[in-house]
Structure 1
Amino acid sequence: MAQMTGEDAALSFDPLRPRLIRVAYRMLGSVADAEDVVQEAFIRWMGVDHAAIREPEAFLRRTVTRLCLDQLGSARRRHETYIGPWLPDPVVEEPEDEDVTLPLMLALERLSPLERAAFLLHDVFGVAFEEVATTIDRDPAACRQLAARARTHIREARPRFQVEKERGLAIAQAFFTASRSGDMAALGGLLAADVSLHSDGGGKRSAALRVLFGIEDVMKLHGALSRHFGAHPSHLVYAGSINGLSGFVTREADGELQTTALDIEDGRITAIYVMRNPDKLRHLHPLYNG
Structure 2
Amino acid sequence: MDSAALDRFEASRGRLASLAYRLLGSAADAEDAVQDTFLRWQAADRARVQVPEAWLTRVVTNLCLDRLRSARARHERATGDWLPEPLLEGDTMLGPADTFEQRESVSLAVLILLERLSPVERAVYVLREAFSYSHAEIAGILDITESASQQHVHRARFRVAAERRRGGEADPASARRVVEEFLVAATSGRTERLVALLTDDVTAVSDGAGLGQRLLRYETRERVASFVRGGFKPTPAKRRLAGGSLAIHIALVNGSPAVVAVVDDRVVGVVAFEVSDGKVASLRGIGAADRLARLNETWRQREPDAPVIDAW
Fold match (TM-score > 0.5): yes
Amino acid corresponding to residue 225 of structure 2 in structure 1? M
Q: Secondary structure, in 3 states, of the residue corresponding to 1:272?
A: strand
Partners of 2:87 and 2:294 within 8 A in 1: no
CA–CA distance in structure 1, aligned partners of residues 215 and 61 of structure 2: 32
- Report the CA distance shift for 1:209/1:186 in structure 2 as closer, same or farther (over 3 A): same
**Paired-residue identity, %:** 31
CA–CA distance in structure 2, aligned partners of residues 277 and 128 of structure 1: 38
CA–CA distance in structure 2, aligned partners of residues 164 and 245 of structure 1: 10
Match of 1:77 in 2: 74
- Report the CA distance shift for 1:103/1:63 in structure 2 as closer, same or farther (over 3 A): same
CA–CA distance in structure 2, aligned partners of residues 229 and 56 of structure 1: 55
**Could you tell me how far 1:67 is from its partner in structure 2?**
0.3
**Could you tell me how far 1:205 is from its partner in structure 2?**
2.7
The partner residue of 1:236 within 242, 248, 252 is 248
Match of 2:194 in 1: 187
Match of 2:304 in 1: none
**Could you tell me how far 1:165 is from its partner in structure 2?**
1.3
Match of 1:128 in 2: 134
TM-score (normalizing by structure 1):
0.87
Kindly report which structure 2 residues correspond to 1:252-271, keeping only aligned pairs within 5 A, or say none: 257-271=268-282
Unaligned runs of 5+ in 1: none
Amino acid corresponding to residue 149 of structure 1 in structure 2? R
CA–CA distance in structure 2, aligned partners of residues 206 and 228 of structure 1: 21
- Report the CA distance shift for 1:206/1:179 in structure 2 as closer, same or farther (over 3 A): farther
2:217 is aligned with 1:211: yes
- Report the CA distance shift for 1:191/1:234 in structure 2 as closer, same or farther (over 3 A): farther
Partners of 2:186 and 2:194 within 8 A in 1: yes
Partners of 1:236 and 1:249 within 8 A in 2: yes
1:21-73 Cα distance to aligned partner (Å, 9 max, x none): 11101111111000000011111112223332232221111110000011112
Amino acid corresponding to residue 32 of structure 1 in structure 2? A
Partners of 2:205 and 2:285 within 8 A in 1: yes
Amino acid corresponding to residue 195 of structure 2 in structure 1? G
Q: Secondary structure, in 3 states, of the residue corresponding to 2:270?
A: strand
**Could you tell me how far 1:183 is from its partner in structure 2?**
3.3
The partner residue of 1:21 within 10, 17, 28 is 17
Q: Secondary structure, in 3 states, of the residue corresponding to 2:104?
A: coil
Partners of 1:118 and 1:146 within 8 A in 2: yes
Match of 2:150 in 1: 144
- Report the CA distance shift for 1:71/1:85 in structure 2 as closer, same or farther (over 3 A): closer
Q: Secondary structure, in 3 states, of the residue corresponding to 2:86?
A: coil
Amino acid corresponding to residue 177 of structure 2 in structure 1? A
- Report the CA distance shift for 1:226/1:69 in structure 2 as closer, same or farther (over 3 A): closer
Match of 1:199 in 2: 206
Structure 1 stretch 169-178 or stretch 26-35: which is displaced more?
A: 169-178
1:236-279 Cα distance to aligned partner (Å, 9 max, x none): 24x232122221321269x7611111111100001001111111
**Could you tell me how far 1:81 is from its partner in structure 2?**
7.5
The partner residue of 1:287 within 272, 278, 298 is 298
The partner residue of 2:50 within 51, 54, 62 is 54
Q: Secondary structure, in 3 states, of the residue corresponding to 1:211?
A: strand
1:180-232 Cα distance to aligned partner (Å, 9 max, x none): 33333442332112211011237x33698442111010111123234445874
The partner residue of 1:221 within 197, 205, 227 is 227
- Report the CA distance shift for 1:159/1:12 in structure 2 as closer, same or farther (over 3 A): farther
CA–CA distance in structure 2, aligned partners of residues 249 and 80 of structure 1: 27
**Could you tell me how far 1:20 is from its partner in structure 2?**
0.7
**Could you tell me how far 1:154 is from its partner in structure 2?**
0.9
**Could you tell me how far 1:153 is from its partner in structure 2?**
1.1
The partner residue of 1:163 within 161, 170, 174 is 170
Amino acid corresponding to residue 193 of structure 1 in structure 2? D
The partner residue of 2:119 within 113, 116, 125 is 113
TM-score (normalizing by structure 2):
0.82
Structure 1 stretch 173-182 or stretch 189-198: which is displaced more?
A: 173-182
CA–CA distance in structure 2, aligned partners of residues 40 and 34 of structure 1: 10
